[in-house]
Amino acid sequence: MHFGLSEDQRMLRDSVARSLSDNCPLDHVRECAEGEPVFSDKTMSALGELGLPGMMVPEEHGGLGMSLLDAAVVAEQLGYAAAPVPFLATNVLAALALTHAGSREQQADWLPRIARGEPRISVAIAETVEARDGAVVAAHGGGLSGTSLFALDFRGADAFLVADGAGRLHLVPTDAAGLETVALTTIDRTRSVGEVHLQGVAAEPLMADGGVAAARLRCAGRIILAADSLGAGEAMIEKAIDYAGQREQFGRVIGSFQAVKHMCAEMAARHEPCRALVWYAAHAFDAAPDEARLAACHAKSHTGEVHRFVARTSTEVHGGMGFTDLLGLHYWFKRIGFDRQVLGGPEAVRAEAATLQGWTRAA
């Protein structure tokens, strides 16, 4: 059996790669990361011309009705470019949540606008993985109270999609009474994350489904983060190989030394199998939903570990230059670190996978 990208998916990949190459060079990434706002309007506009805001929106609502594998293909290219754009929350997670758990009115209101690239929806579901510092959101009397940490694509959001303690999803406009937000600083300056504090905030619940929609979002988010890490790792390997072929030491390029060859070969050997894991997990999300959660756990945990090794080793190949801002390796290094931890680090995700397979009991 041969499993690979279709011709349309390869064309999508190439189109996104060309657009990012033209509109999101390293100097532009650096400019966005060091300034405000974090996100690049130029890059978002260019990607909007390709129809990416509506890729997960059904065709009847003006979108392209594409699959999560298509979104993973895009995420890989965004990671490769370290692109400072809000793709995960609005374009993937919010679109999926509204498509599968929104009422007809909510779908008619939000999905056509998402397809046009108009609203930005931050997604706060971190507590469905593990609660930190007592953070939890409770729904009572038609309102929400509590705290949600690590809301994704936070800056400039028009609304928040928040999961309560029971896993039910709620839409909260940013101007709602009783809502307070705090921007957080993370290692990855190409992303935007924040805290959401709610005190009796009126919210618009999505349809009750026993937490199924939140669990599906968690799965999709892990797959997209793994795909992003795959792209970032690819970029770091290529940069290490290019540098090793140019940097001279003792009258020879360092790439001719066996130790450096081994470092580059080991990065590639560990990195390449991750592609099959990520692609299959993304495929299973739509085609084999019963397998999707476990496949997402495997993809997220394994790519997180592998690309931490890739990030470290690529930096070592560059020697002292690898730690400088001039080369910009740190943007990919930190992006991989962010991808590794958000929505569950490898340890937490492996524990979940073990429970799914009946090897351990849920806490």
Q: What is the pLDDT of residues 103-124, one digit of tens each?
A: 999 999 999 999 999 999 999 9
Residue with the larger pLDDT of the pair 363 and 329: 329
- pLDDT reading at 1 higher than 60: no
What is the reported pLDDT for 306?
98
Domains in the chain, CATH or no CATH each: 7-115 (1.10.540.10), 121-205 (2.40.110.10), 212-356 (1.20.140.10)
Q: What is the mean pLDDT of residues 172-176?
A: 95
pLDDT at residue 36 in the model:
77
CA distance 312 to 321: 13
Q: Examine the pLDDT at 130 and tell me if it is beyond 90.
A: no
Contact between 222 and 300 (Cβ < 8 Å): yes
Report the pLDDT averaged over residues 149-159. 95
CA-wise closest residue to 243 among 327, 182, 341, 348 = 327
Phi/psi zone of residue 85: left (φ > 0), alpha (ψ -120 to 50 degrees), beta?
Answer: beta
Q: Among residues 150, 151, 147, which one has the least CA distance to residue 159? A: 151
3-state class (DSSP) for residue 203: coil
- pLDDT computed for residue 320 by the predictor: 87
Residue 17 predicted with pLDDT over 80? yes
Predicted confidence (pLDDT) per residue in 222-245, tens digit: 999 999 999 999 999 999 999 999
pLDDT at position 288: 96
Listed in sequence order, the DSSP H helices in the chain are 7-23, 26-33, 41-48, 68-81, 95-101, 104-115, 212-244, 258-287, 289-317, 329-341, 346-356
Report how far residue 176's alpha carbon sits from residue 80's, in angstroms, rounded to the nearest whole number: 37
Other C-beta atoms closer than 10 Å to the C-beta of 91 total 29
Per-residue confidence band for 204, with pLDDT thresholds at 50, 70 and 90: very high
Mean pLDDT of all residues belonging to the chain = 94
Q: Is the pLDDT of residue 134 over 70?
A: yes
pLDDT at 2: 64
d(CA 135, CA 226): 25
pLDDT at 211: 82
